Amino acid sequence: MTVLARIHSEYLNLIQSHRVKMRPAILQITDSQSIWGDWNPSTRTIRLSQKLMDLANWYQLTSVLKHEMAHQIVSEILQSMDSHGPDFQKACDMIGVPLEFRNASVDFQSFPLDWRQRNESPGKVSKIQKLLSLTSSSNPFEAELALIKAQHLGSTLNLNDQSQHKRNFYYHHQLKSKKGNISRLDKEMLHFLIQHYSVFGFIGQSYCLQKNQEEKTLEIMGLKENVLIADYVFQFLTRVMQVKSKFTKGSRLSFQSGILEGFKTKLIVNTNQNEVQALVTVPLSPQLKKYAGTIHPNLRSRSIGQGENIRNSENFQEGFRQGKQIQIHQPIDKENKKSNPLALLLNSRSLD
């Protein structure tokens, strides 16, 4: 299947999943260097730039596609000449255009597609950044306390979001993608993030433009601060599990599940009279749940459980023991900082 054919398939799927009654348009790929895409009502054509294909991931590309579909809805369903006003915003709601992709235009040079590379409001996440930078401390208690404090700060922002939900955009982040099914362990980790880090998480279907293949994804959405914390924890745990699993015999899945359970217990029962006491369970913001439903209307919640045979296994118990002994530190190699903007963010100690 060609990239254009896959985009056309996604276009038809968006019309169906959002129940929008409109006649499909013609899709084209252009060599434009100045725009991501456009909608031409006279020829009924949506055009997307080849440069977008080269720079964007699937979520970003389909978000631009949705933006242009919203223009199509404005002209063909709402029968309006509105450019990016109220009618356009109504159309964006109908087709699930993410908030950050509803602007009139995007400059290739000044607006990176990856939101982590933007500097939209540097003061907003500085406390989170400082706390995450402290997780590299040589003092294990200080590192754990920093992560717990970051979670509490994020949960406070989440509670504020319930009454001030227009204060922030919700950001989307892909934790992991792979060909084939997502493992039960990754599902357990996603459930852990949803419970404690104020993010909406789900397993999605994506398409890798570079490899020309379908992929399953592990994805989260939420306030920028909470997405940063959740991603940090996921990457840290993933790396710890990979390293420790090299030295275990038997079922790695049981061992890694034990590590996750032990790590959760370690943070949840953490106590200190003068400081934040422990990791807490945080209710998900109703506004975030509603927003996620407009972007992905067909999502269904599913329970994730562990069988007793896994919990009672020797490998699980050994993983649990080691998980309770994990010392939190930076999950990013210093040599990878230049190629990973998140590494620069988490390792910064000079933010105001």
Nearest to 240, CA basis, from 217, 259, 267, 215: 259
**Would 292 be classed as within a structural domain?**
yes
Instruction: Give the Å distances, CA to CA, from 92 to 29, 104, 190, 306.
Output: 22, 12, 28, 40
* Residue 273 predicted with pLDDT over 80: no
> 97 and 157: one domain?
no
> 109 and 138: one domain?
no
* Residue 57 predicted with pLDDT over 80: yes
pLDDT of residue 344: 33
Q: How far apart are CA 74 and CA 26, in angstroms?
A: 17
pLDDT digits (tens, 9 = 90+) for 75-112: 999 999 888 899 999 999 999 999 888 877 655 445 56
Least confident of 58-67, 142-151, 228-237: 142-151
What's 33's domain CATH number? 3.30.2010.10
Instruction: Give the Å distances, CA to CA, from 326 to 92, 102, 126, 234.
Output: 45, 43, 26, 14
> 273 and 166: one domain?
yes
pLDDT of residue 336: 41
* Rounded mean pLDDT, 242-250: 80
- Which SS3 state, helix, strand or coil, does residue 29 take? strand
Least confident of 12-26, 75-89, 154-168, 230-244: 154-168
> 38 and 88: one domain?
yes
**Would 352 be classed as within a structural domain?**
no
pLDDT of residue 314: 87
The share of the chain scoring above pLDDT 70, in percent, equals: 67
Q: How far apart are CA 303 and CA 281, in angstroms?
A: 17
* Residue 143 predicted with pLDDT over 80: no
How remote is the C-alpha of 150 from its chain's centroid? 18
The share of the chain scoring above pLDDT 90, in percent, equals: 27
Of 90, 113, 136, at which residue does a domain stop?
113
**Would 31 be classed as within a structural domain?**
yes
pLDDT of residue 265: 84
Structural domain total, the chain: 2
Residue-range definition of the domain harbouring residue 105: 3-113
> 308 and 204: one domain?
yes
The set of long-range contacts for 104-112, using a CB threshold of 8 Å and a minimum separation of 24, is 105/35, 106/36, 108/33, 108/34, 108/51
Nearest to 97, CA basis, from 184, 20, 176: 20
* Residue 119 predicted with pLDDT over 60: no
* Residue 267 predicted with pLDDT over 90: no
> 177 and 283: one domain?
yes
Instruction: Give the Å distances, CA to CA, from 38 to 89, 275, 291.
Output: 16, 53, 25
pLDDT of residue 97: 93
**Would 30 be classed as within a structural domain?**
yes
**Would 42 be classed as within a structural domain?**
yes
pLDDT bucket at 153, cuts 50 / 70 / 90? low
Of 85, 113, 141, at which residue does a domain stop?
113
* Residue 268 predicted with pLDDT over 80: no
> 86 and 205: one domain?
no
Q: By the 8 A CB rule, do 220 and 120 touch?
A: no
Within 13 Å, how many C-alpha atoms sit on residue 57's CB side?
Answer: 16
Q: Tokens 């990791």 label which residue?
A: 279
> 51 and 104: one domain?
yes
Q: Of all residues in the chain, what percent are helix, strand and coil, respectively (each to 5)? A: 50, 10, 35
pLDDT of residue 164: 45
Of 113, 145, 169, at which residue does a domain stop?
113
**Would 121 be classed as within a structural domain?**
no
* Residue 50 predicted with pLDDT over 80: yes
**Would 119 be classed as within a structural domain?**
no
> 133 and 174: one domain?
yes
> 52 and 197: one domain?
no
**Would 297 be classed as within a structural domain?**
yes
> What is the overall mean pLDDT for the chain?
76
> 230 and 97: one domain?
no
> 142 and 91: one domain?
no
Q: By the 8 A CB rule, do 332 and 340 touch?
A: yes
